[in-house]
Structure 1
């Protein structure tokens, strides 16, 4: 469904260049969920916005992101803005946004916004069918966004995201501000959509949420993918020191934070960006490790060869 190859995004600022995403490559397939995880500010949401052409004018984007559906292949990075607006967004790719209540228009009811999406995207389903899919009744749809709970707003944007019957869903931090039962419910919905044959790219910093729904996990640090593999492998036997630190920081593990702070994306260190925080650093870390066999770490690669 989606093949991303060498995707890079940088922003030109006065006196600095922010390298938000560097050489990211991954695939998302029908019926599977890939969770992109990492600390806030590592470039996850920038990557998602690049796929939809929603970056500001000072962004420079390289690489490719080919979306294949119905026998057609479209490179999202090189596609004209009009194609992205009229053909891709909402129709080929559905967006479940961060902070759902803030994403909705505040002066219109949930019903009017869902009906507009159904009408403009020529949905094969009615607004009522989409609402019922997510447990929304008439009383819920007649509320304004500020009258909706976090969980109810989540259901509304889920229904809107499915209005165009997209094959790929991009969920950008969809659990922000939700309590754990609502997080589990939201992840359950994403899993159901995968089981129906859709592809899902989940952007999150919540490893527990990723574990609930993901088939595969990609770990991002300072704009680079440092580990990529099956979810069970990454969560139970992480090979990159940063991925291991994320897992160990979970409450059901050692609950120990990773020492230090991530680098600023405008002042990345030479070599491995994680080296200043890593207890396993070696002289080889002065060079940037490639993502080989699912891990970008010289020490892990040496251990695998041994």
Structure 2
């Protein structure tokens, strides 16, 4: 069972003759039982790739290529994945607190999600799975800490028993301890037979947790390198990956020599280091 992206390209028109090259010719495979990391600078196209899988692209976006999710009994096409969102694919957003309805308690929102998905879960059970006390059901989003909000978002994602979780910067603005806890929850989901695509720029947490089996690297809307986490993070083959890792504090904090380009009307032959 795998999630497969084949030559996925996304263009978002802005005006006649101008478009955002959000994703370009992306190939990606996320295997069952694994966490696949997707790394790169801000503005490289990671979140747009995640939105392509979940069906959360802007309405005017134009998609070519194919997304397929192979299950035990059938293979879902791109549109089928989108139509069954919540059951086949679930999304964990960055800064989860801002995605909850601020004037409603967490419990009522979680119960509504369960009803909408036609799931058999109980809110108390879902909170227990992510390590939250039952008292959280009576709290409003602003009463949760950042770590609690991200755990709650995981509970919402698990409500429909998805085969795949897309976690988009789930550790942003969290300290090391809380980030490790969130990554642990994603690892548990994968260990139970799920698929996880972890979109992150927090390379330090990713390396320390050793959660990823595979890693892909995005630059300027393209996946420039993919492989086992050990190979990509310890012995990368692409210059961009090497420079990205060298920019980490523990690796010398070396600035990237080339800026991330704007993705508007990006030339088809654009590559890292292009003037």
1:245 aligned residue: 243
CA shift, 1:27, in A, is 0.7
Superposition TM-score, scaled by structure 2 size: 0.94
Larger radius of gyration: 1
1:91 match: secondary structure = coil
Match in the other structure for 1:120: 116
Native 8 Å contact 2:10 2:24 kept in 1? yes
Contact persistence 1:7–1:65 (CA under 8 A): yes
One of 71, 82, 103 as aligned partner of 2:73: 71
Q: Does 1:259 align with 2:265?
A: no
* Contact map agreement 2:258 2:273 (CA 8 A) in 1: no
Cα separation, 1, equivalents of 2:141 and 2:170: 16
- Counterpart residue number, 1:236: 234
Q: Is the 2:97–2:141 contact (alpha carbons within 8 Å) kept by the matching residues of 1?
A: yes
Which residue is 1:35 aligned to? 37
Of stretches 219-228 and 247-256 in structure 1, the one that deviates more from structure 2 is 247-256
Work out which structure has the larger RCO, using CA pairs closer than 8 Å and 6 or more positions apart in sequence.
Answer: 2
> Relative to 1, partners in 2 of residues 1:12 and 1:175: Cα closer, same or farther, differing over 3 Å?
same
Residues 95-114 of structure 1: matches in 2 within 5 Å?
Answer: 95-114=91-110
The 5 A counterparts of 1:140-179 are 140-179=136-175
Q: Contact 2:105/2:139 (CA < 8 Å) preserved in 1?
A: yes
RMSD between aligned residues:
1.5
User: Where in structure 2 are the equivalents of 1:1-306 lying within 5 Å?
Assistant: 1-14=2-15, 15-76=17-78, 79=79, 84-85=82-83, 87=84, 89-211=85-207, 212=209, 213-269=211-267, 271-276=269-274
Take 2:205 and 2:74, find their aligned partners in 1: how far apart are those partners?
Answer: 32
Q: Residue 275 of structure 1 aligns to a residue in which SS?
A: coil
- Structure 1 residue 267: Cα displacement: 4.1
TM-score relative to the length of structure 1: 0.85
Post-superposition offset of 1:134:
1.5
Structure 1, unaligned stretches of length 5 or more? 278-306
**Structure 2 stretches lacking a partner, 5+ long:** none
Q: Deviations over 1:227-276 (max 9, x none)?
A: 10000111110110100011111111121111231111114256342123
